[in-house]
C-alpha cells in the first residue's frame, strides 16, 4: 500500500487528539505543557497502520501557524466537530485552510456524541453538511463517534482506510523534498529532523541540501514508525539523522532537498484566491503572514493584474518575502492577516524564482504568468527554460514537480521539434530555448558586422573579444558553445584558429594594396629569421606605418604571418621550418642554449629571444634556466 498522511482539523477542545489516540493507541500530545493543560499546542504524530500516518494539529487560534505547518503535507483531512459545541470559529478557519491547500480527500467526524441528544447531533450534522457544500468534503462521510467509549471508532477507521486506498500516487522520481516540521537531538546520534517527503526519495548516505541556509548534509539514519530503513519515498513521514549539523542550525520551515535542485528566493509569483469571508480587500503592499510548507513568512503583496483584490476574487500576485524561502512550482500556500490573525486566502506558486516586476512591466508579467498557469508540460518547460536562459534537468524536475519520464519525453519532443537545444557545458547537460540561441546569433552577427565596418582589412574578430562584447546574459562557457554552434551551422565562419567573421565578409583590397601585400609577403619570406621591421616594410611599399601594419595584419589573419611582441612579423612557413630544425637539433643533443639556437636558425638575439618565447608558449620548447628542452608538442610530434 502506498504511504498516506492524514491530518486533523477543527476547533480547540473538540476531541481531535482523543480521536487520534482512540484510533491509533498513541497519544499525539507529547509536550509536558500539553499534558498539564489538556490542550494541543504543537503538532503531534501517530500511525494508523504501517503505511498511514496521522498529524494532529492544535485547534487554538493562537497556534494556527502550527496547524497550517501540519496540514500542508497531508493527503487526507479529517475535520473534527464536537457534538456539544457544533461549528465554531476555528472549525471555519481550519476548513478554509484545507480548501485553500486544495486537499482532495477527507471526512468529517462529529465527536463527543455521548454528551449531546441525538436530535442535537442531527442539527450539528446538518450544519456541517451546509458548511462543506461545494467543497471536497461534500458528499463525504459524516461520522459520529465517541472517543472514550470507542463508539463509532471502527467506522471512522474503516472510512480512513477506504480514503487511503483512493489517494493518488505521489510524483515518482522527482527530486527529494522534505519540509522540516521538527528537529531535536538524540544522545549518541546528534541532530534528527522529521517531516513528510513531498517528492522523490532518500536513502542512507545521500547528500542533501538544507535550505535556505545552503548547508550540505549527509543522511546517516532513516526511521519511520520507530523502524530503521535503508530508504524512504514520497508520502512517508520520516525521521532523518543528520549528525553534521547542530539542532540550532535547523528549524521548522527549513527544506531538505536534493543538492542544487531548489534556489531560495525572496520573491514568489503566485495565483491568489481571496476568500469571500475575508473582512477586507487585499491592498497593494499589504503585509501578510504567508504559510508555505511548514514555514510561516512575513510578506508584502505586489498585485499584478489589478489595483486590489476584493473578497472572493482571484488575482496574480508577486509576494515579496522578508526572508528567503526555497519553494517549488505549484506548491500550495495560505495567507493570513498580519493582525488580527485570520486566514483570508491562498493559492499556488507559479514561479518560485521570478525577477522583480516593476509597475511598468506588470502587464507583460501578468501575461507570462497566465501562460505559465495554463501551459501543458511542453509549453511549461519551454517557458521555464526560456526564462532561465539555460537550465539543467534536475532544476526543471524540481520546478515542475512532475514525473521524470514525463519531463524527459517533453524535453525530447521540444528538441525534436527544434524549439529547444541541449549542449554540454560546465560539466553538465543544459537546455536552452531556440529563441535564446537565435538572440545570441543575432547579437553575434551584429557585433561582427560593426567590427568589419570599422576594420575592413581585418580578416575577423578575436573570438574572446566578440563574446566579451555580447550582452546576452549567458555564462562564458555556454556562450563559447553557442559560438561553436553558430560556426557549425554556418551563421558565421571561423578564420584561422582564433578569429571569427560574418559569413559573407571578405577582406577587399585595392589593386595598390594587393601589390603592396605581395611585396610584404615576399620580403618576410626572403628575410627568413631576420625579417625587415615595419618601418622598412612601409618604405618598401611606399605606405605609412599604420597602412603597412594593417596589411601585415591581413597576413596574420589569413595565417600567413605570425606577429611576435606586437612589432616583429615572421612568415608562418619560415616559423614552421624553425620547428623542423628544432626537432632535428634535439635529435642530436638533449638541450639547446640561446647561442645554439641563434646558430641553428642564423639570426641575432633581437629575433631569437621572441622566437624562443613563442616556441615556449606553443609547447615546442621548455625553458630550464639558460637552456631549452624539447616541449610536449615537439616530443609528441616526434
- CATH number of domain containing 455: 1.10.10.10
**Percentage of the chain lying above the pLDDT 70 cut:** 95
**Least trusted range by pLDDT, from 383-392, 474-483, 614-623:** 383-392
pLDDT surpasses 90 at 161: yes
Same domain for 362 and 449, yes or no, is no
With CA atoms as reference, report the closest residue to 409 among 417, 438, 169, 352: 417
Contacts of 211 (CB under 8 A, 6+ apart): 254, 255, 256, 257, 262, 264, 326
- Is the residue at 414 inside a domain? no
Among 85-99, 211-225, 288-302, 508-522, the least confident range:
508-522
pTM to 2 decimals? 0.67
- Mean of pLDDT values over 585-605: 91
- Over range 93-115, report the average pLDDT: 93
Same-domain check for residues 42 and 120: yes
Final residue of a structural domain among 481, 502, 523? 502
**Domain-ending residue, one of 474, 502, 530:** 502
Q: What confidence score (pLDDT) does residue 396 get?
A: 83
Residue 193 half-sphere exposure, CB side, CA atoms within 13 Å?
Answer: 29
Judgement on whether residues 476 and 575 belong to the same structural domain of the protein:
no
Lowest-confidence region among 127-131, 224-228, 445-449, 610-614 = 224-228
* Statement: residue 399 has pLDDT above 90: no
CATH number for the domain that contains residue 324: 2.40.30.10
The residue among 257, 285, 304 that closes a domain is 257
Q: Kindly give, in sequence order, each residue whose CB lies less than 8 Å from that of residue 213, ignoring residues fewer than 6 positions away.
A: 249, 254
CATH number at residue 34: 3.40.50.300
* pLDDT at residue 174, rounded to an integer: 65
Considering the domain architecture, whether residues 299 and 359 belong to the same structural domain is answered as yes
Structural domain contains residue 404: no
Q: Residue 424 falls within a domain, yes or no?
A: no
Check whether residue 110 and residue 17 sit in a common domain.
Answer: yes
Angle ∠(380,440,433) on CA atoms, nearest 5: 15
Does some domain include residue 395? no
Closest CA to 256 of 156, 176, 171, 181: 176
Task: With residue 371 as reference, give the H or E element that holds it.
Answer: helix 362-374
* DSSP symbols for 170-229: PPSSSPPEEEEEEEEEETTTEEEEEEE--BSEEETT-EEEEETTTEEEE--EEEETTEEE
* Percent of all residues in the chain with a pLDDT value above 90, rounded to a whole number: 51
What's the whole-number average pLDDT of the chain?
A: 88
| pLDDT at 508 exceeding the cut of 50 | yes
pLDDT per residue as tens digits for the range 277-329? 999 999 999 999 999 999 999 999 999 988 999 999 999 999 999 999 998 88
Q: Determine the structural domain holding residue 28 and report its residue range.
A: 4-166
On whether both 271 and 215 belong to a single domain, the answer is no
Q: Residues of 471-495 as b/e, b for ≥16 C-beta within 10 angstroms?
A: ebebeeebbebbbeebbeeebbbbb
Question: Is the same domain home to 247 and 152?
Answer: no
- Alpha carbons 597 and 607: distance in angstroms, whole number: 11
pLDDT band at 110 (very low <50, low <70, confident <90, very high): very high
SS (H, E, C) 11-22: CCCCCHHHHHHH
Residue 474 in domain: yes
462 phi-psi bin (left φ>0, alpha ψ -120 to 50, beta other): beta
Q: Cis omega (within 30 of 0) on the bond before 230? A: no
Cell of 184: 531535536
pLDDT at 68 over 50: yes
More confident site: 401 or 188: 188
Give the 3-state secondary structure percentages of the chain, helix then strand then coil, rounded to 5: 40, 30, 35
Whether residues 588 and 483 share a domain: the answer is no
When pLDDT is averaged across residues 193-210 and rounded to a whole number, the result is 92
Q: Which residue has the higher pLDDT, 592 or 170?
A: 592
Domain match, 271 and 343 both:
yes
Do 630 and 561 share a structural domain? Answer: yes
Q: 422 in a domain, yes or no?
A: no
What local confidence, expressed as pLDDT, does residue 638 receive?
Answer: 46
Domain total of the chain: 5
566-578: average pLDDT: 91
pLDDT, average across residues 509-517: 85
Co-location of 22 and 145 in the same domain = yes
Q: pLDDT digit string (tens) for 27-40? A: 877 777 766 677 77
Alpha helices (H) in 87-201, listed in sequence order: 89-100, 118-131, 153-166
Q: Which three cell numbers stand for residue 178?
A: 522534505
Confidence class of residue 634 from pLDDT cuts 50, 70 and 90? confident
Please, which residues have CB within 8 angstroms of residue 199's CB and are 6 or more apart in sequence? 170, 171, 174, 175, 176, 177, 234, 401
Query: Both 227 and 335 in a single domain?
Result: no
d(CA 257, CA 425): 24
Q: Does some domain include residue 389?
A: no
- pLDDT of 172 strictly over 70: no
Domain-located, residue 478 = yes
Amino acid at each position: 500500500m502506498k504511504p498516506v498522511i492524514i491530518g486533523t482539523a477543527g476547533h480547540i477542545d473538540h476531541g481531535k487528539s482523543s480521536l487520534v489516540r482512540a484510533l491509533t493507541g498513541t497519544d499525539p500530545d507529547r509536550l509536558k505543557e500539553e499534558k498539564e493543560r489538556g490542550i494541543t499546542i504543537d503538532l503531534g504524530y501517530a500511525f494508523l497502520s504501517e503505511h498511514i500516518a496521522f498529524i494532529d494539529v492544535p485547534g487554538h487560534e493562537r497556534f494556527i501557524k502550527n496547524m497550517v505547518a501540519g496540514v500542508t503535507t497531508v493527503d487526507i483531512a479529517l475535520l473534527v466537530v464536537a457534538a456539544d459545541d457544533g461549528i465554531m470559529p476555528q472549525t471555519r478557519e481550519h476548513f478554509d485552510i484545507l480548501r485553500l491547500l486544495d486537499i482532495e480527500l477527507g471526512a468529517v467526524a462529529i465527536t463527543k456524541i455521548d454528551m449531546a441528544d441525538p436530535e442535537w447531533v442531527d442539527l450539528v450534522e446538518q450544519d456541517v453538511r451546509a458548511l462543506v457544500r461545494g467543497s471536497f468534503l461534500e458528499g463525504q462521510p459524516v461520522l459520529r463517534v465517541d472517543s472514550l467509549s470507542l463508539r463509532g471508532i471502527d467506522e471512522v477507521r474503516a472510512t480512513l482506510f477506504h480514503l487511503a486506498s483512493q489517494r493518488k500516487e505521489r510524483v515518482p522520481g522527482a527530486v527529494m523534498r522534505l519540509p522540516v516540521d521538527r528537529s531535536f537531538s538524540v544522545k549518541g546520534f546528534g541532530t534528527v529532523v522529521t517531516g513528510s517527503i513531498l517528492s522523490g526519495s532518500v536513502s542512507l548516505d545521500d547528500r542533501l541540501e538544507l535550505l535556505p541556509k545552503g548547508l550540505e548534509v549527509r543522511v546517516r539514519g532513516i526511521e519511520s514508525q520507530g523502524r530503521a530503513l535503508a530508504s524512504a519515498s514520497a508520502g512517508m513521514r520520516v525521521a532523518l539523522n543528520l549528525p553534521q549539523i547542530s539542532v540550532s542550525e535547523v528549524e521548522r520551515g527549513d527544506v531538505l532537498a536534493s543538492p542544487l535542485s531548489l534556489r531560495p528566493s525572496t520573491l514568489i509569483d503566485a495565483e491568489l484566491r481571496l476568500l469571500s469571508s475575508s473582512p477586507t480587500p487585499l491592498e497593494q503592499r499589504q503585509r501578510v503572514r504567508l504559510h508555505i510548507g511548514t514555514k510561516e513568512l512575513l510578506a508584502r503583496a505586489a498585485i499584478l493584474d489589478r489595483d486590489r483584490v476584493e473578497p472572493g476574487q482571484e488575482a496574480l500576485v508577486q509576494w515579496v518575502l522578508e526572508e528567503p524561502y526555497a519553494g517549488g512550482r505549484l506548491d500550495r500556500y495560505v495567507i493570513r492577516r498580519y493582525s488580527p490573525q485570520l486566514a483570508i486566502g491562498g493559492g499556488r506558486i507559479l514561479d518560485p524564482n521570478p525577477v522583480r516586476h516593476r509597475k511598468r512591466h506588470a502587464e507583460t508579467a501578468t501575461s507570462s504568468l497566465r501562460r505559465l498557469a495554463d501551459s501543458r508540460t511542453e509549453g511549461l518547460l519551454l517557458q521555464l527554460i526560456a526564462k532561465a536562459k539555460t537550465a539543467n534537468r534536475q532544476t526543471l524536475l524540481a520546478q515542475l514537480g512532475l514525473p521524470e519520464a514525463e519531463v524527459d519525453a517533453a524535453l525530447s519532443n521540444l528538441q525534436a521539434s527544434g524549439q529547444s537545444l541541449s549542449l554540454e557545458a560546465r560539466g553538465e547537460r543544459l537546455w536552452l530555448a531556440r529563441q535564446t540561441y537565435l538572440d545570441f546569433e543575432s547579437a553575434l552577427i551584429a557585433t561582427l558586422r560593426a567590427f568589419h565596418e570599422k576594420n575592413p582589412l581585418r580578416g575577423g574578430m578575436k573570438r574572446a573579444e566578440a563574446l566579451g562584447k555580447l550582452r546576452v546574459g549567458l555564462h562564458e562557457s555556454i556562450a563559447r558553445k553557442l559560438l561553436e554552434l553558430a560556426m557549425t551551422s554556418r551563421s558565421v565562419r571561423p578564420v584561422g584558429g582564433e578569429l571569427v567573421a560574418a559569413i559573407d565578409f571578405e577582406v577587399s583590397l585595392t589593386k595598390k594594396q594587393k601589390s603592396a601585400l605581395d611585396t610584404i609577403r615576399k620580403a618576410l619570406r626572403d628575410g627568413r629569421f631576420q625579417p625587415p621591421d615595419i618601418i622598412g616594410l612601409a618604405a618598401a611599399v611606399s605606405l605609412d606605418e599604420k597602412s603597412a601594419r594593417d596589411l601585415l595584419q591581413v597576413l596574420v589573419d589569413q595565417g600567413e604571418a605570425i606577429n611576435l611582441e606586437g612589432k616583429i612579423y615572421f612568415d608562418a612557413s619560415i616559423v614552421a621550418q624553425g620547428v623542423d630544425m628544432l626537432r632535428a637539433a634535439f635529435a642530436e643533443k638533449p638541450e639547446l642554449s640561446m647561442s645554439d639556437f641563434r646558430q641553428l636558425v642564423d639570426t641575432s638575439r633581437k629575433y631569437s629571444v621572441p622566437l624562443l618565447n613563442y616556441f615556449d608558449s606553443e609547447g615546442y620548447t621548455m625553458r630550464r634556466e639558460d637552456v631549452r628542452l624539447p616541449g610536449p608538442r615537439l616530443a609528441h610530434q616526434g
